[in-house]
Structure 1
Amino acid sequence: MDIKAGQSEAFVAGYVRKPDPALRVALIYGNDEGMIAERGRTLAQAVCPDLGDAFRAVELSGAQLKDDPARLGDEFQSLSLIGGRRVVRVRPAGDESVDAVQTVLDATAGDALIVLEAGNLPPSSRLRQLVAAAPAGAAIACFEDGERALEGLIEQVLGAAGLRADNDARDYLVDNLGSDRGLSRSELEKLALYKGIAKPDAPPAARIVTFDDAVAVIGDSAAIGLDDAIFAAFDGDPGGLDRALDRVFAEGVAPASAIRGLQRHADQLHRLAGAIEAGTRPDDAVARLRPPPHFSRRAALQRQARTWPSRRLADLVDLLLEAEMQCKTTGLPDEAILRRTALRIAQGARSLARAPARR
Structure 2
Amino acid sequence: MTAVKAGDVEGLVRRGPDPRIAVTLVYGPDTGLVADRAARLVRGMVADPDDPFALIKIDGDTLASDPGRLVDEAGTVGLFGGSRTIWVRSGSRNYAPAVDAVLKALTEGARIVVEAGDLARSAPLRTLCEGSPRALALPCYPDDERTLADLIERTLQEDGLRIDRDARDLLAGSLGSDRRASLSEIGKLALYARGQDRIGVDDVEAIVSDVGASVLNALIDAAFAGRAGEAEREYRRFRHEGMDPSAMLGAGLRHALTLLSLRLDNPRGSASQLVANWRGLHFRRKALAETQLARWSAPGLQQAVAWLQDAVLACRRSEPELAHAQAQGVFLRIAVEAARRRG
TM over 0.5: yes
Partner in structure 2 of residue 64 of structure 1: 62
Does the CA contact (< 8 Å) of 1:44 and 1:51 recur in 2?
Answer: no
- Which stretches of structure 1, 4 residues or more, deviate above 4 A after TM superposition? 49-53
Matches within 5 A, 1:171-320: 171-198=169-196, 207-218=197-208
When residues 4 and 95 of structure 1 are mapped into structure 2, their CA distance, relative to the original with a 3 A threshold, is farther
Give the match for residue 7 of structure 1.
8
Between the aligned partners of 2:107 and 2:141, the Cα distance in structure 1 is: 34
Deviation at 1:95, TM superposition (A): 6.7
TM-aligned CA deviation for residue 161 of structure 1: 3.3
Larger Cα Rg: Structure 1 or Structure 2?
Answer: 1
* Amino acid aligned to 1:127: L
Which 5+ residue runs of structure 2 have no aligned equivalent?
215-278, 281-343
Alignment match, 2:131? 133
Is the Cα–Cα contact under 8 Å of residues 161 and 197 in structure 1 kept in the other structure? no
Contact 1:61 1:91 in 2 (8 A): yes
Q: Name 1:124's counterpart in structure 2.
A: 122
Q: What fraction of aligned residue pairs are identical, expressed as a percent?
A: 41
Q: 2:106 matched to which residue of 1?
A: 108
Counterpart amino acid of residue 14 in structure 2: A
1:129 Cα deviation after fit: 0.6
Q: CA deviation at 1:118?
A: 0.6
TM-score (normalizing by structure 1) = 0.55
3-state DSSP of counterpart to 1:192? helix
Identify the residue that residue 158 of structure 1 maps to in structure 2.
156
Task: Name the CA distance, whole Å, in 2 between partners of 1:167 and 1:82.
Answer: 46
The 1:136–1:182 alpha-carbon spacing in structure 2 relative to 1, beyond 3 Å, is same
Letter paired with 2:121: P
Q: What CA distance in whole angstroms lies between the structure 2 residues aligned with 1:180 and 1:89? A: 22
After superposing the two structures, state which structure 1 stretch, 141-150 or 51-60, moved more.
51-60
Cα distance in 2 for residues equivalent to 1:188 and 1:65: 35
Q: When the two structures are aligned, how many residues end up with a matched partner?
A: 214
TM-score (norm 2): 0.58
Give the match's secondary structure for 2:57.
strand
1-structure distance, mates of 2:44, 2:114: 15
Please report the RMSD computed on the Cα atoms of aligned residues, expressed in angstroms.
Answer: 2.4
CA distance in 2, matches of 1:49, 1:215: 40
Q: Conserved in 1, the CA contact under 8 Å of 2:51 and 2:79?
A: no
SS at match of 2:94: helix
Q: CA deviation at 1:181?
A: 1.6
| 8 Å CA contact retained: 1:62, 1:92 | yes
- The separation in 2 between residues aligned to 1:216 and 1:121, in whole angstroms, is 39
1:97 to 86, 95, 98: 95
